[in-house]
Structures are given as C-alpha cells and as structure tokens.
Amino acid sequence: MPLGPTCPCCHARVPFRRTQIGVGKAFICRNCGTPLVMSRWQSFLIAFPIIAVYMIVRPALRSMDLAFWLLSLVMVAAVAGMSWLFMKPQPVESDKAEAG
C-alpha cells in the first residue's frame, strides 16, 4: 500500500503539489482521467491543530531566535507532511467537473 494520496478509482498516486496548492480545485487523474478534488475541510482538520499548537508555543519562544525559527520550520514541514499523508482525493460531482 503506497503512502500518500491515491486516486480512488485507479489507485495511482496523486502529485504532492495537489495536497498543498489548489486545495478545493478540481484536477484530472493522470492515469485514468477521473476528475478529483482535495477537500478543503480535510485540509482544515489537518492544519488547524498544528497551527494552534504553534500559536500557543510561539510567544514563549520569541526571545530565542534560533528556537523560534526551528519551530516555525518544523510546523511548516508538519503541515505539509500530514496533509500529504492523510488527505484523500474525492471524485468531483458532475456539475463541478463540467465547470472545471
């Protein structure tokens, strides 16, 4: 079983950038041609807890420049990694597929 998101129809891997850029916009599976979309709600559920922890811890690290920047980099990597691992593309409803 491959890590990361796959097409629900043909199980081909979805490109990493689709989990990061253009969430909520329809795209076509390269393998089978099915119109897919990454859910904005899933993206929010993955990113919100990580960003909330960052916002809580951030004021305590403001005085320590290196620790603050390291935490910032870790949080960006965590959001990118978690969204790549846990976001699942869904087939687009027919009315959205015709518009996109």
pLDDT digits over 75-99, tens only? 888 888 888 888 888 888 765 444 4
pTM of the model: 0.66
Domain membership of residue 22 (yes or no) is yes
| pLDDT for 64 beyond 80 | no
Residue 99 is predicted with a pLDDT of 47
Domain membership of residue 10 (yes or no) is no
Domain membership of residue 4 (yes or no) is no
Residue 98 is predicted with a pLDDT of 47
Domain membership of residue 1 (yes or no) is no
Structure tokens at 87: 């976001």
Report the distance separating Cα 47 and Cα 31, nearest Å: 29
Domain membership of residue 62 (yes or no) is yes
Domain membership of residue 2 (yes or no) is no
Residue 1 is predicted with a pLDDT of 58
Q: Which domain holds residue 71?
A: 16-95
Domain membership of residue 9 (yes or no) is no
Residue 97 is predicted with a pLDDT of 46
Domain membership of residue 64 (yes or no) is yes
65 vs 34, higher pLDDT: 34
Number of separate domains in the chain: 1
